[in-house]
Amino acid sequence: MAITDHAGLPPEALRPTCDPATLGFASTRELDGVDQLIGQDRAMDAIRLAAGVRHADFNLFVQGSSGMGRRRAVMELLREQAGQRPTPCDWVYVNNFEAPHKPRALKLAPGRALEFKSAMEELVDDLAIEIPAMFDSEDYQAQRRALEQEYGQRQETAMAEFAERAKSENVAVMRTPMGYMLAPIRNGEVVKPEVYEKLPQAEREEIDAKIARLQEELAKVLQQAPKIERELRRRLEDLHRGMAERVVRDQVQEVAALFPDHEGIQAYLDEARQDMIANAALFLELAAQAGQNPFPEAVRKAHPLPVFQRYAVNVMVSHQADGTGAPLEAEDLPTLDRLTGRIEHVSEMGALVTNFTLIKPGALHRANGGYLVLDARRLLSEPMAWPALKQCLQSGSIPITSMAERLSLMSTVSLQPDPIPLDVRVVLIGDRMLYALLSMLDPDFPDLFKLQADFEDDMEQDDESRRLYARMIAARAKRDGTRPLTAAGVARVLDEAARAAGSNRKLSLRIDMLSDLMREADFYAAQASRDEIGVEELDRAVAERERRASRVRDRLQEAVERGTILIDTDGAKVGQVNGLAVSMLGGFAFGHPSRITARVRMGSGEFIDIEREVELGGPLHSKGVLILAGYLTSTYALDVPFSLRASLVFEQTYSGVDGDSASSTELYALLSALSGLPIDQGLAVTGSVNQEGEVQAIGGVNEKIEGFFETCRRRGLTGRQGVLIPQSNVQHLMLKTEVVEAVVRGKFRVIPVSTIDEGIALLTGREAGARDPDGNFPPDSVNGLVEARLRAFAEARRAFGKTDGNGEQTK
């Protein structure tokens, strides 16, 4: 058998499948489902620790790939733990009567916040009835009349005494529209002006002097009137205060009796009582607006002025008092305001105003005493949200500040509410890259998030794990409301899980992807009027999913088929080999071949990677080229200067190339160019190489094989075509059934290799050759031809160095 006639791997190694007979059931109807994640013991233990430990800063970062059910698992476990923890206290904000811009936070027992709020509303409503009624009472009216009569009588007595004194001196006191006026009296009658003018000069002067003196006394009497009125007003105010205090005190004491052991509420009610007494007129105004309305609370709520909000209770968070456990909150839009709360403003006469009743809670308030679940990427993308969360966790409290305040963009008067103490366990859900970046770039992150739950991408495949997986499939089908699966259908799902894991020894734990597959298969089963989901429906779902995503792949294959992209699948050529690459569009990965060529000539040891030179090659690709250069320089012609100039290129690639999976392919092209031996174009190659010449495992091996198989199938399978893969990738093979069927018919091959020597022998049909005891390769072997070519380059370079450049020997 020629070297190129290698049969390759047997069909059973290309797609190891699950035998339905080993599962032990005919349908998932028979199974006791497991509706929980499997294979995630390490992550689940970390979540349980974060949920149970009571020390601060043991917050949790849940990492792993999407589609694995991380969020659902976290929520279910935390919900279970939350039910076992005590119910946290309620929190309210109340008015600070001494400094209204600094509202006070009060802590209450669970369920008491709403009771306190209702009690204060009833207090205001009751006072709105009782205070006006008190001022309409006979008792109040009698006391007011008595005071008014008392002070009125004092004024009248003073005027009467003055009038008597004036009368005794023949002077009358007369009231006019302009005030009081004094006039002389003669014979009991007021002296008229014309009579007064006829009186003797001396008598007139005596009268004038007397009236002037009495005018001064009258002025003193009149000056006492405002003082008496002020005294009356103060006495009335004392009366009003006393009457109001009597009503308010009784009502407030009823509220205080509901919270006998709460010092904060008792202190607040004492301040509220004093404020209500001082502002009793507000209740009279409310009564005047209410009129005959029998519902004063409606008038209170519709009052145009927020005067009664000063006695309101702003409930920030309230819990049921029936022992339902700790809260569990998940904030899907973790902006700064939705996280830490906000202070709203209303427009009043063109100005923005606010008060403590416009303080709104955030997710931290609602989750206080329990658990808060956040999406890490969304949290980090919201301005100021991540710094605010860290500040709250570090300080152990929840200060409420708007973004405008943090950025000094707002000049309006705002509030400074008391920070509410914080006791919460935060759970962030994100990918591994985010966790790594936060760990490296944020020094606070490791201190605040001491725990990580790293979800596995896959689990080992054995009889026990397959049965457990089948139970999970049964539970997922029941939860999603799909038809039961046959045993063959479950085996098909397990095969797809192995393919998704990229290994025939593992099962993927991306449960959501498999659930989507089952639901689509359920749709096709419904169309076919079947009671169960079988292999046919699942095969169709897989095929349709691939068909929906494969437009770009099909266009590439079409370009190859029409010769737009040059790929040879037959014949042999020197310095040319088919490499394999994988492209990813969304969640769909597909392989496609690329022509790789190498050209060599005498030089000074230069390897020109054209992809790198034009900045299309990534760092991993450049690393692979340097490694293969290291292999060449350490393997051949060690006793002469390395005198090679080589160029390598991926033909017809117009975008970036990265990864080292083509390094063995590029090395094969160089060995072919150096030896002059053509490479079989029916074979494609993938695999990386190290400096020892060992072929190493690569990713996407299934997609790469299938991509070249599709190219060959479109061109026509010859039976000599196939793919060389690293021996270490055999465990990852889960090829499509059409590839396996072609291998069964002898139309295609998958050949594992461990070393470059094995690969180059298969590609050229010539033994690679090993050094004999004298250190020489067989002259007709691949390695012998390569070394001879390199020595020829070295000799030519040495001879050229002895000439003057025109072919003449130099001395």
- Catalytic positions, written as ranges: 661, 704
Distances (CA, A) of 154 to 216, 217, 224, 267: 19, 16, 10, 43
Q: How many CA atoms within 13 Å lie on the side-chain side of 778?
A: 8
The residues pairing with 650 across neighbouring beta strands, listed in sequence order, are: 596
Q: How far apart are the C-alpha atoms of 258 and 115, rounded to whole Å?
A: 9
CA dihedral 645, 650, 651, 655 (to 10 degrees): -130
Contact present, 356 and 93 (Cβ < 8 Å): yes
Q: Is 228 exposed, middle or buried (0-12, 13-18, 19+ CB in 10 A)?
A: middle
- Tell me the pairing of strands 90-94 and 104-108: antiparallel
* Of residues 659, 652, 661, 646, the one with CA closest to residue 575: 646
Q: Is 346 exposed, middle or buried (0-12, 13-18, 19+ CB in 10 A)?
A: exposed
Residues in the chain, overall count: 811
Distances (CA, A) of 610 to 595, 649, 670: 14, 5, 14
Contact present, 575 and 599 (Cβ < 8 Å): yes
Q: What angle do CA 445, 449, 452 make, to 5 degrees?
A: 120
Q: How far apart are the C-alpha atoms of 521 and 516, rounded to whole Å?
A: 9
- In which element (H, E) is residue 749 found? strand 749-753
- Chain centre to alpha carbon of residue 770: 60
Q: How many CA atoms within 13 Å lie on the side-chain side of 761?
A: 19
The residues pairing with 577 across neighbouring beta strands, listed in sequence order, are: 596
Q: Within 10 A of 67 (CB to CB), how many other CB atoms are there? A: 17
* Of residues 806, 810, 789, 807, the one with CA closest to residue 643: 789
